[in-house]
Chain A
Amino acid sequence: MSRILAWLPIIMLAAPAFAQRGEGGPTGFNMIGLWSGMYHEDELERTDPGPPPGDYTGFPLNEAGLYHADSWHADLVSVMEHQCIPHNAPYSMRGPANLSIHAETDPSNGRLLAYIIDGTFGGASRTIWMDGRSHPSKFAAHTWAGFSTGEWHGDTLKVVTSHIKAGYLRRNGITYNDNATLVEFFDLHDKYLTVTTLTYDPIYLTEPLLRTETFVWNPYQPMGAPHAYGATCQPAPEIPRPYGWVPHHLPGTNTVVTGFSEAYGIPFAATRGGAETMFPEYRKKLKTMTIPPQQVFLNKFKREHEGPDGQAKEAGK
């Protein structure tokens, strides 16, 4: 008994400290810190210059989603109301994102209220509520970051996000609707933070879109003000346009969507997305298709091996 009493003060002191581990959850890890984005997954679409028009590979698009993607016009980003749009929640982890994750705690008891994720492009910082609150009503406003709640499942933080504004899943016309929901899983592997995202949009997708992004712990990472871009971005009419101009391709007139197929030597049908194209069995079908010449590699070969007159370059020149 006396032994227990002797240990009691230490236990009592330790209890709040353990509770504060709520910052990492009952069994979860501590997310707080600086995390640098790694772009080795789907790098070509995530960094500049971004995805080429017509590259719908990897998306379980349905007819409506495909029709909509084909109507997208790259000039849309020059429309005043589109110029300062930040990356939305389903995309923000894929864009340039050096994250700063910190915690919001209840000052009265130190309990974790929310994780705040700063650093996503355009300043739509994420708030992941960890206090068990419910999602707002269907009449509440939507934001680019959406409304997120999280809970620990062992060492995985599961985050569910609703109330997201309509936006892009890939920056070439593949979009989701504003009633889409996002489910994310945050996992730690050594010093790597992996975010697995599932985007549910039954209007444009036949099944959830699954993607992953990885960040590396980097305590030396410099951080700018998270909302500086969003606060100072001022839309400007860069090119005179008619009043109310909304650029888009009329059905059947989009001639740039074939460019990706031609550039990379991928059968056009295989670039159109759809669940079928995402499974290994599709490779059998691919073998029956005509493979167009790979213009990107042909052009590269010409640059490296041919002179302007089409003659082979001499060695060493």
Chain B
Amino acid sequence: MRILLCLFAATTAFAQTPMEVLHARGNVYMFASDSGNVTVQIGEHRDNDGVLMVDTGTAQMAEPILAALKKLTSKQLKYVVNTSADLDHAGGNDIISSTGGTRTAEGRGPLAAEVNIYAQDNTLTRLSAPELHIPEKGLPTMSYEQLKDFTFNGEAVQLISEAPAHTDGDSIVFFRGSNVISAGEIFSTVTYPMIDLARGGSIQGEVKALNHLLELTVPEISQEGGTMVIPGHGRLCDEADVTEYRDMVTIVRDRVADLIEKGKTLDEAKAARVTRDYDGRYSQPKWTGDMFVEAIYKSLKQGKQK
């Protein structure tokens, strides 16, 4: 079951779509496709520069990603961050990390990978599951529980755990100098957030994560621009777009909580169709409004039992 859920996004991503490169802001680019988004930071800074990639897409996306990267820079890939263990975020680790420089020669880097691959503790654990058969060089080389920060390409980079939200291993990446956040699966402009209960996801955590995103983002003028947010799937965004999404998730959560409060069963909650005003916008065959309601219902019930 876990593998099936883990593969959920990957199966939706197999259709090969053209990759577009958009300049998000500062040093940061968004490699966008229907399969999902990859965030790339490129910079120049004495003795500490190169390429940092947030998520590596599916294995099938690896070649287009590398081709697009080659057009942008000849700099070496030095860091990869996985925002979750989904295979549309970490499926290309193996191939993409092979293109980086070997950092083991001077004893500075990890032995397993040719680039440093960072992930939250639980993401490392899940990617290391034998049934996923991820080669060693595709596994995270370093993990963190709450926060990891360092300077790269002349700007502070923060890897912030938002777990539990989509799963128990979610992270966002904040490029403080460029003023860009790569949000991973906690934010999408194409579908409801997938609350993966089997992998430790939580609707309350998802709402909390979105509110935290809103704390970090600062609009430039007229409630737009400023901090740019790259969602796991969909288009380039800013705070106003995250607000729209946060509002939607909160409202649907509240509607389901109200039904639970009234003693409704899961079937009755689904029959109430409380996502009817958002389904046209966010319901997808692979993750429908009904599935979202079920995940919220079970997540809230689980929370009450704890």
A145 → chain B closest CB, angstroms: 9
- CA–CA, A246 to B22, complex, Å? 32
Given A139-B22, A248-B251, A250-B258; A230-B236 close (CB under 8 Å): no
Contact B221 A140 (CB under 8 A): no
Contact A144 B224 (CB under 8 A): yes
Contact A139 B280 (CB under 8 A): no
- CA–CA, A179 to B279, complex, Å? 14
Contact B235 A82 (CB under 8 A): no
- Is chain A's interface secondary structure helix, strand, loop, or mixed overall? loop
- CA–CA, A248 to B214, complex, Å? 19
Contacts of B243 in A (CB 8 A): 81-82
Given A139-B32, A178-B241, A243-B211; A84-B280 close (CB under 8 Å): no
Of B49-57, B126-134, B270-278, B297-305, which stretch is located at the interface? B270-278
Contact A63 B276 (CB under 8 A): yes
Contact B240 A137 (CB under 8 A): no
Contact A143 B224 (CB under 8 A): yes
A77 → chain B closest CB, angstroms: 12
Given A71-B251, A81-B214, A246-B246; A203-B280 close (CB under 8 Å): yes
Q: Does B44 reach chain A (CB closer than 8 Å)?
A: no
B58 → chain A closest CB, angstroms: 17
Q: Does B254 reach chain A (CB closer than 8 Å)?
A: yes
Q: Does A138 reach chain B (CB closer than 8 Å)?
A: yes
Contact B276 A227 (CB under 8 A): no
Q: Does B239 reach chain A (CB closer than 8 Å)?
A: yes
Contact A251 B255 (CB under 8 A): yes
Contacts of A231 in B (CB 8 A): 221-222
Contacts of A266 in B (CB 8 A): none
Contact of B235 among A81, A124, A142 (CB under 8 A): A142
Nearest residue, chain B, Cβ from A244? B211
Question: Which residues of B253-306 are within 8 A (CB) of A?
Answer: 254-255, 258, 272, 274, 276-281
Contact B250 A244 (CB under 8 A): yes
Contact A233 B235 (CB under 8 A): no
Number of interface residues of A (CB under 8 A): 43
Q: Does A67 reach chain B (CB closer than 8 Å)?
A: yes
Contacts of B189 in A (CB 8 A): 178
Contacts of B279 in A (CB 8 A): 64
Q: Does A123 reach chain B (CB closer than 8 Å)?
A: yes
- CA–CA, A178 to B234, complex, Å? 12
B30 → chain A closest CB, angstroms: 7
Contacts of B246 in A (CB 8 A): 81, 244, 246
Contact B224 A140 (CB under 8 A): no
Contact A165 B251 (CB under 8 A): no
Given A140-B235, A251-B274; A179-B281 close (CB under 8 Å): yes
10 contacts between A and B (CB under 8 A): A63-B276, A67-B276, A81-B239, A85-B222, A122-B222, A137-B32, A144-B223, A165-B224, A177-B280, A229-B222
B contact residues vs A (CB 8 Å cutoff): 20, 22, 30, 32, 189, 207-208, 211, 214, 219, 221-224, 228, 234-241, 243-244, 246-247, 250-251, 254-255, 258, 272, 274, 276-281
Question: What 19 new A-B contacts, CB under 8 Å, besides A68-B278, A165-B244?
Answer: A64-B276, A68-B277, A71-B251, A71-B277, A81-B243, A83-B223, A85-B222, A85-B240, A86-B222, A141-B228, A141-B237, A141-B238, A142-B241, A231-B222, A244-B211, A244-B250, A246-B251, A248-B251, A251-B255
